[in-house]
Every structure is written in structure tokens, then in C-alpha cells.
Structure 1
């Protein structure tokens, strides 16, 4: 009996280790195929004679898909299980990465749609999977997951333009290369699914369902708005900081370096927050600190733009802390993994829907006022609201 028990325990530990490795492979594909587009967007537009409206839509389409598809990911999970739903998500990303550079304008739009849909599904389901299979190390796993997303996102945006210049294929190289990590993740996750199917008593067989409705829960709305407001500020800075910097005489290359620092600091904050967040009695103070750090960074950009690198470091710390805190709250504010999936679906729907408005509103404000100060004041106001929702979401309660 002892030998059988030891073998069962070893099999479970092997599955959990493989699952963790698979999660990191998934994370490497959840931002990079999207952030690689921006630096070569003008080349893509020139290749297909895209209008300004179409170019803007191509850039915004993934975020819109994240928002609209996220609530339906838990429905897919109930039909197939988390592992197979994530396998389907990786298959969509892989096919999308293959179609986008090699099948003309139809492939560009179809590939972008498939990538966005696959990422939307995986965005929602990874945290519930961690809550179910790795509960004793959930916060650290979420921190590593978020850091991997951020690192590959920064890498893809950094190498897109240089890769484009390597051959006559230009932007197709920058886009096509991401089929490699997608295919690798797909192969690893196929192995996870095979082992999960073959192991009796696997957590994947659990059918326990939470009873609280996330759409009627005040806790769920607080978590969702916390995510939405920090997402709005993050994407607004990513999209418009180079233009803000240009207003103060900063070159485009220097602005690009500043944005890299902003994202790199966020990676460090991802990792450090994941280490200690689970040790806290609740997350109110943490939510307040990360929100006010963003506030201080934005205020600095508004009042003392000459020290923009310092303010971006502060804003990056706040952004990284906010992301890990939000993702961890999906698990901490729910009693079991299926309910965590529904909270994740709602929060990411609201988060990306509102978050996508940030860059649009920033552009409108700048167009009306002719200065970026109005945009920064708007972001400052949003960060104050974020602090309120972060404090409420951090209270130790359940959906």
C-alpha cells in the first residue's frame, strides 16, 4: 500500500511540476504576439494600403476581443475542463500566428482575431488553474506568470523593428517568429492534458461550483474596477508616452528606452509582489500603495517632466504590483476554482473594455486641448479612483 501511495504522490508531483512549466509557456504567448505589432504597424499598413481607421482597429482589436470573449471562457471550461480549454486557446494562438504574416490581408485580420480569442480564453483560465492545482504556492506562481508575460511583451516590442530589417520579408519576420513559442507551448500543454487524463483522482475531475453570482457581487465589482482603472492608465502610458515625451523635446529612441525601463521595472514588481502578497492578512494596504505609487508617477510626469525616467520607474512599480494583486485577488476572493474562473472572466471583461477606452480618451483630450497636460490630469484622476477600488477589493471577503 505504501509503494502505491508513493507512486501516486510522485505522479501528482510530476503533473504539478509539468503544469507549472506549462503555465510559464502559456504566459510567454499572452502578450508578445500583440506587443510585436506596434513597432511595425506602419509597415503593415503600407503593405496592405490600410486606412487610418483600419490601422487603428487592427491595433485595438485584440483588447476588444479580450473584453467581449472573457465572460464566455468559464462556459467553455464547464464543457471541456480547464486543461482542454487552455489547449484550445493555444491552438488558436498558434494558428493565428501562422495565418497573420503568410496569408495576405485576410490572414492578417483572421490571425489577429484568432490570437485575440485564444489569449482571452487563456487570460481567464490560468489563475483558476493555479488556485486548483497549486494552491500552496498560488501567489508566487501568479507573480512568475505575470512577470513572464511582461518580459516577453517587452522583448517582442523591442526586437520587432530590428527583425523587420533583417530581410525583404520585413514585418512578416517580426510577426511570424511568434509561431515558434506558440507551437512549443502547444506541445507542452498537450503533454499536460495527456497526463491529467491518465491520472485517476486528478483535480481536473473536480466539479464543485461556487454559488455566488459575480455579476451581482459588490466584491467582484470592486476587483473588476481595480483591474479596469490600472489597465486604463497602463495602456494610455504605453500608447501615448512617446508623444508626451516629444512635447518636451525627448527623442523617439530615448522615449522607447524609457518605455522599456517602465516595463522592466513592472517585471521586478511582479516578482516581488508575488513573494509576499499571500502572507498579508488582507490586501487593502497593498492595493493602496500600488495605486498611490502610480498616482505619484503620473503627477511627476505632469509637474516635473524633466525627470520622466524617475516617474516612469514609480509608475512601473505601481503597475507591476497592481497586476499581480488583481490576478491574485481572483483566487483570494473566491472559495474554489470554478468561481475564480467566473470572477476572472468578469474582471477581465470589464477591465479590458474600460482599459481600451483610456488611449482613445487620451487622444480626444489632446485633440481638444492641444496639450498632454489634460491627459495626465485625467490619468491622475483615474489613479485616485483606482486607490478607492483597490482598498475595497483588498478587504478580506468572498464573492
Structure 2
């Protein structure tokens, strides 16, 4: 087939199909650049003489960028358009990956920040785009892009140690470019969708919806804190799980592979919850269940590290479920794309501000106590709080309904 004929065939693909593919490929770039660092922390500590806290910054800095930039992402999306802003986010991710792999110690940290800025834009605006363009399929689309995130993160975690041994840590850190480059090409070709019936309905919905100031909403705070503490656990494990496993006697290769198992397991809730959530009146029991699973696995890894495969797989299921529910809440608890963007901005600002300190604090506690037991005990205790917040955030009503109920008390 000639290049012209191939281009003509591609051009006939419906714009909605382009958008679905672009969303999934973009989602693949939202965790893999971060999770691929953790198995290399020991290598980077040796190469640059870093302390545990300094090494923890390599996963905390992107999370801090998420927190600092999330408040501005909705305004950028409104001013420039969602598609253009998401394209800008991908450009920043690509530039950050190149700088991180080639710029020495300064480039390692600066590239990490730049990459985090790009991911922050996509983190906030993808739920809004899904609410706008797939208003009747919020749960299914959120599950699909959560699966894409989990699979890509698992691939990055499981392969990075082998890449380091074969090509060196610079090439291992640059490997996510294989995801970023095709995503950039695809988003450059995604058209701004015309206003089909779904978008017209979403526009009418936005006009009719009651806009609730999210920072004054009790339900918005519950959603945000549920996401924040879940994210804190996620990034502590993304950063330090390989070190925990190596301290328990596993080889670096085995620890990296189990880190990949955890990331792979985060994708499974997307398959299980997509058909279930739309049929439920609320998500309280689901939220409490994933929190209990995370707490149980923290205790299991502390008391019985020989069953590390079971605990890491369970961690992935619990973390994947909690993060998926957090993303779903942004669409399910709002009545319009604008409200979804506002809640997403708040949840990710507050949530990632909490999460940013997790890896640094965990590294400091381990250094002071000389072991991971206090960290795992703290994670188990935090899971109880996450369960309570999930029971509140999982109630089946919107911000407007919650505000009205409080007004009538």
C-alpha cells in the first residue's frame, strides 16, 4: 500500500475513534515515566551520591508539580482548549524525559520537574474531556484510561532493570520516550471535535447545572482527601517498594519484577469496575473494600514478607481501585464538564500536595529507624482513614445535592 493510500485510509477513521486512541495513549504516559525510576533508585544513589531523601525527591518532585500546577490547569484548558493544552502537556513530558536522561544531576531533577508539569495538565483535564465528549460513558472511559496507565507503568517497572544492565541507566530513563513520541504524533492530529449530540447535551447540562464552589463543598473535600491519601500510599510504594523487597531478601531483578506486578495489578480494577459502577447506587462499599485491602497488604508485607508476591499483587488491586474511584468521582459527583474540571483541579492540588511528602517522609523514617516496619505500620493506619473518607465520598449524590442537603439541615 502506498503512503498516500495509507494516509487516505487513516483520514477516514472517525474523529471519535481518534480521540479514544489518543486518550489511551496519553494515559500510558501519565505514570510510566515516574514508576520506571523506582527500581533504579539504588543505581542513581550510587551514580550521584544521593541520600535516601534526595533519591525520594525523584518521585516526589513530579507529585509536587501536580499539586502546584493543578489549580491553573482548568484555566489553561478554557483559554487554549482541552486538546491544545493536552498536546502541550505531552510536549513537556517529552522534553522532560530527554533532559532527565541526558542532563547530569541538574538535568535529572529539572527534567523530572518539567515532566511532572506536563503530566499535571493531563491529570486534571482528562476527566473534564471525558465528561464533555463521553458524558454517557464516564465510568467505561475512565476505566479504559486507568487500564492503559497501569499496563504502561507495569511495563516500565518490569523492564527498567534489564535496560539498565544492558544499555545503562540513561537509556533506561529514556525508554518512556517510546510511549511519548507516538502519543505526541497522535494528539497533533486529533481534531477539535465538532459539537455532536453528546457535546450539545453536555453544553445544555452545563448551562442548567448548579455550580458549587468546590473549596466550600464538604463532599469535594472528602473526594480530594480520599484521592490525596490514596496517592500518598501509591507514591510511597512506587518509590520504595523495590527497596522494601530487597531488604526482605529479594534480588534487585526480582524486586523490579514484583514492582511491575504491582503496577500490572493496578490495571485490573479498570476491567472489573467499569461494568459494575454504573449499576450501583453508590460506591461506599467499593471504597471501603479497596482501603481494607491496602491496609491488609501493608500488614502482610510487614509480618510475612515471604509472601511478597501476594502482598504486592494485592497492593496493586487496592491502589488501582482507589485511584480509579477517585477519578470516577470527578465525573460522578459533578453535573457539568466545568464542575468536573473544578473538582479535578481541587482534588489533584490537595491530593498531590499530600502525596508529595510521602516518599520523602518514608525515606526519612526508614533512615532513622533502620527498617521499613514503621512505614508499613503507618500505611496500615492510613488505610483506615482512607476507608472512612471513601465511605463519605462514595455516597451517590452530586456536589449540588450535597450542598442542598446541608442547606436544609
Kept in 2: contact 1:142–1:324 (CA 8 A): yes
SS where residue 215 of structure 1 aligns?
A: helix
- Cα displacement (A) at 1:45: 5.8
- Residues of 2 paired with 1:389 and 1:243: CA distance? 29
SS where residue 317 of structure 1 aligns?
A: helix
- Residues of 1 paired with 2:86 and 2:148: CA distance? 17
- Residues of 2 paired with 1:74 and 1:361: CA distance? 30
Superposition map of 1:183-198 within 5 A: 183-192=181-190, 194-196=191-193
- Residues of 1 paired with 2:35 and 2:248: CA distance? 25
Q: Which residue of 2 aligns with 1:364?
A: 364
Is 348-357 or 238-247 further displaced after alignment? 238-247
Q: Which residue of 1 aligns with 2:137?
A: 137
Superposition map of 1:197-346 within 5 A: 199=194, 203=199, 206=203, 208=206, 211-346=211-346
Unaligned runs of 5+ in 2: 1-10, 400-409
Query: C-alpha offsets along residues 79-105 of structure 1, whole Å, 9 cap, x if unaligned?
Result: 112111111111212222233334555
Superposition map of 1:162-177 within 5 A: 162-167=162-167, 170-177=168-175
- Cα displacement (A) at 1:18: 1.5
- Cα displacement (A) at 1:289: 1.2
What's the TM-score once normalised by structure 2's chain length?
0.85
- Cα displacement (A) at 1:247: 4.3
- Residues of 1 paired with 2:371 and 2:45: CA distance? 27
- Cα displacement (A) at 1:195: 4.5
Unaligned runs of 5+ in 1: 1-10
Q: 1:46 to 1:318 in 2, by over 3 A?
A: closer
SS where residue 390 of structure 1 aligns?
A: helix
Q: Which residue of 2 aligns with 1:354?
A: 354
Q: Which residue of 2 aligns with 1:380?
A: 380
Is 255-264 or 122-131 further displaced after alignment? 255-264
Superposition map of 1:78-97 within 5 A: 78-97=78-97
Q: Which residue of 1 aligns with 2:176?
A: 178
- Cα displacement (A) at 1:162: 2.1
Count of matched residue pairs? 383
Tell me the C-alpha RMSD between the 2 structures: 2.7
- Residues of 2 paired with 1:41 and 1:244: CA distance? 12
Is 271-280 or 22-31 further displaced after alignment? 271-280
SS where residue 275 of structure 1 aligns?
A: coil
- Residues of 1 paired with 2:371 and 2:57: CA distance? 24
- Residues of 1 paired with 2:215 and 2:13: CA distance? 36
- Cα displacement (A) at 1:350: 1.6
Superposition map of 1:28-43 within 5 A: 28-41=28-41, 43=43
- Residues of 2 paired with 1:39 and 1:298: CA distance? 19
- Residues of 1 paired with 2:267 and 2:12: CA distance? 30
- Cα displacement (A) at 1:55: 4.2
SS where residue 274 of structure 2 aligns?
A: helix
- Cα displacement (A) at 1:240: 2.8
Q: 1:375 to 1:164 in 2, by over 3 A?
A: closer
Q: Which residue of 2 aligns with 1:5?
A: none
SS where residue 396 of structure 2 aligns?
A: coil
